[in-house]
């Protein structure tokens, strides 16, 4: 089964005439050895070409330093960048990540969680939306979710309410005659999802300032073509009904905002004066669009860092002699950043 077996503490012990324990201590508590002996062992490690085996260490110590991640997909830049930033926290916290892509299959994701538990992960980060937080909370393992329903578990989210409020405020500051919010929400529109805050922020600002507004909640399908068709219809309708008026659009993500920009530019040869547009996420597409799009930027790096930090805190708490687990889920919030680009500042 195995090829030439690896060098172990035993081999080093024999080679140096120390015991296994001393070798172990060299790694975990070097100060307890004399400098002289440390050097002897250090030399032996080189001579024998020792490679550490963390699997054995895990079994003996119980600490895997593994964190599990379940992410819906990597097609959307938002998730890809989030994963990127989560993985980057290795440099800060030292935890390794076992990653599964869920693709929205509830049963599949349960299997993934089973598999992760079998590998004795110390904590779990969930970005997918399929499994209710109630069920997650029963796993009896530290969990943090990011931007999803989070009633029964700890979470880190963007301040979506503020994002919606700011975006609407930006449109209002340019004296729009009517302001729209177009949002594709998981069906049915679910106030438990943090992203729903954008809707509330929009509504509150409009009502507080007595602005003429419309909320368009619509499920647009997942393909680029179907999104394009829906938005094309909406655009036609709005153009007809509010001809001659200045229209402000706040739309729920940059991909959709880009579709709107393309539709408008292809129709008019430029971005029309009577439209203003704000997207959400600050995806690359918002910068790379033919007309750079104003957008509410999520601070993905901060969201990721705070998520891992919150998780690690729980994991550390568990390792104490008298653990004091959280009695209530902690929900952290990260402020979004409004980016003004050409679709509002022409």
Q: Are 101 and 72 in contact (CB under 8 A)?
A: yes
Q: Give me the least distance between CB of 302 and DNA, in Å please.
A: 33
- Can residue 1 be called a binding residue for DNA (CB under 7 A)? yes
Site string for a copy of itself, 1-20 (x = CB under 8 A): xxx-----------------
Pairwise CA distance, residues 323 & 318, whole Å: 5
Q: What is the DSSP string of 5-36?
A: PPP-HHHHHHHHT--HHHHHHHHH-GGGS-HH
- Helices 20-28 and 9-16, interaxial angle, to 10°? 110
Question: Does residue 314 belong to the site contacting a copy of itself (CB under 8 A)?
Answer: no
With respect to DNA, which residue has the nearer C-beta, 31 or 107? 31
DSSP alpha helix (H) spans, the chain: 9-16, 20-28, 35-48, 54-61, 77-88, 90-93, 106-118, 133-137, 160-173, 196-208, 224-241, 254-268, 284-288, 300-319, 342-345
Assess 222 for contact with DNA (CB under 7 A).
Answer: no
Bridging pattern class, strands 337-339 and 294-297: antiparallel
Strand, coil or helix: 308 = helix
* Residue among 28, 187, 243, 327 that touches DNA (CB under 7 A): 28
- How far apart, in whole angstroms, are the C-alpha atoms of residue 187 and residue 200? 17
Site for a copy of itself (CB under 8 A): which residue of 210, 240, 266, 322? 266
CB of 36 to DNA, least distance (A): 7
CA gap 183, 251 in Å, rounded: 6
What are 291's two structure tokens?
A: 């007309």
Helix axes 254-268, 224-241, angle to 10 degrees: 60
Q: How far is the CB of 61 from a copy of itself (least distance, A)?
A: 7
Candidate ranges 22-30, 127-135, 226-234, 279-287; the one touching DNA (CB under 7 A)? 22-30
Q: Is residue 48 involved in binding a copy of itself (CB under 8 A)?
A: no
> In this chain, which stretch among 17-25, 81-89, 133-141, 330-338 interacts with DNA, using CB under 7 A?
17-25
% helix, strand, coil for the chain, step of 5: 50, 15, 35
Our finding on whether 316 is near DNA (CB under 7 A) is no
Comparing CB distances to DNA, the nearer of 10 and 222 is 10
Name the binder of 96 from a copy of itself, DNA, none, CB < 5-8 A by kind: a copy of itself
Token digits of residue 50: 């020792």
Interaction partner, residue 83 (DNA, a copy of itself, none; CB < 5-8 Å by kind): a copy of itself
Question: Which span sits near DNA by CB under 7 A: 1-9, 163-171, 211-219, 299-307?
Answer: 1-9
Q: Give the span between the Cα atoms of 101 and 97, in whole angstroms.
A: 13
Q: What residues from 53 to 72 belong to the interface with a copy of itself (CB under 8 A)?
A: 53-56, 58-59, 61-62, 64
For residues 295 and 86, what is the distance between their CA atoms, to the nearest angstrom?
23
CA-to-CA distance for 68 and 262, rounded, in angstroms? 39
Q: Is 223 in the site for DNA (CB under 7 A)?
A: no
Distance CA 291, CA 271 (A): 7
State yes or no: residue 139 binds a copy of itself (CB under 8 A).
no
118 binds a copy of itself (CB under 8 A): yes
Which entry of a copy of itself, DNA, none binds 270, CB below 5 to 8 A by partner kind? Answer: a copy of itself
Please identify, using beta-carbon distances, which residue of 1 and 240 lies nearer to DNA: 1
Q: Which of 287, 326, 335, 346 binds a copy of itself (CB under 8 A)?
A: 287
- Residue 18's binding partner out of a copy of itself, DNA, none, with CB under 5 to 8 Å set by partner kind: DNA
Q: Which residues contact DNA by CB under 7 A?
A: 1, 5-6, 8-10, 17-22, 24-25, 27-28, 32-34, 37, 52-53, 56-57, 59-61
């Amino acid at each position: 089964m195995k090829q030439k077996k690896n060098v172990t503490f035993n081999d080093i012990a024999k080679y140096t005439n120390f015991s296994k324990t001393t070798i172990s201590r060299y790694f975990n508590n070097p100060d307890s050895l004399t400098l002289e002996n440390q050097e002897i062992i250090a030399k032996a490690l080189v001579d024998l070409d020792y490679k550490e085996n963390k699997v054995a260490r895990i079994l003996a110590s119980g600490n895997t330093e593994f964190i599990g991640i379940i992410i819906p997909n990597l097609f959307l830049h938002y998730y890809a960048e989030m994963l990127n930033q989560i993985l980057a926290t290795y440099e800060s916290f030292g935890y390794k990540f076992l990653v599964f892509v869920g693709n929205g299959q509830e049963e599949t994701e349960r299997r993934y969680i089973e598999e992760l538990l079998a590998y004795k992960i110390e904590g779990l980060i969930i970005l997918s939306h399929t499994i209710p937080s109630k069920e997650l909370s029963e796993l009896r393992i530290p969990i943090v979710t990011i931007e999803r329903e989070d009633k029964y578990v700890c979470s880190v989210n963007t301040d979506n309410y503020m994002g919606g409020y700011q975006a609407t405020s930006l449109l209002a500051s340019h004296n729009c005659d009517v302001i729209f919010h177009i949002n594709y929400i998981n069906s049915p529109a679910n106030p438990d999802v943090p992203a729903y805050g954008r809707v509330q922020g929009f509504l509150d600002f409009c009502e507080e300032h007595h602005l003429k507004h419309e909320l368009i909640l619509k499920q647009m399908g997942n393909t680029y073509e179907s999104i394009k068709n829906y938005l094309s219809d909406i655009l036609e309708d709005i153009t007809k009904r509010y001809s001659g008026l200045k229209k402000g659009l706040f739309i729920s993500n940059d991909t959709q905002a880009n579709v709107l920009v393309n539709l408008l530019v292809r129709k008019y040869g430029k971005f029309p004066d009577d439209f203003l547009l704000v997207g959400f996420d600050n995806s690359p597409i918002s910068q790379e669009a033919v007309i750079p799009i104003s957008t509410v930027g999520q601070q993905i790096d901060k969201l990721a860092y705070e998520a891992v930090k919150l998780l690690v805190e729980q994991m550390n708490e568990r390792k104490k002699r008298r653990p004091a687990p959280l009695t209530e889920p902690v929900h952290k919030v990260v402020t979004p950043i409004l980016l003004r680009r050409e679709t509002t500042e022409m």
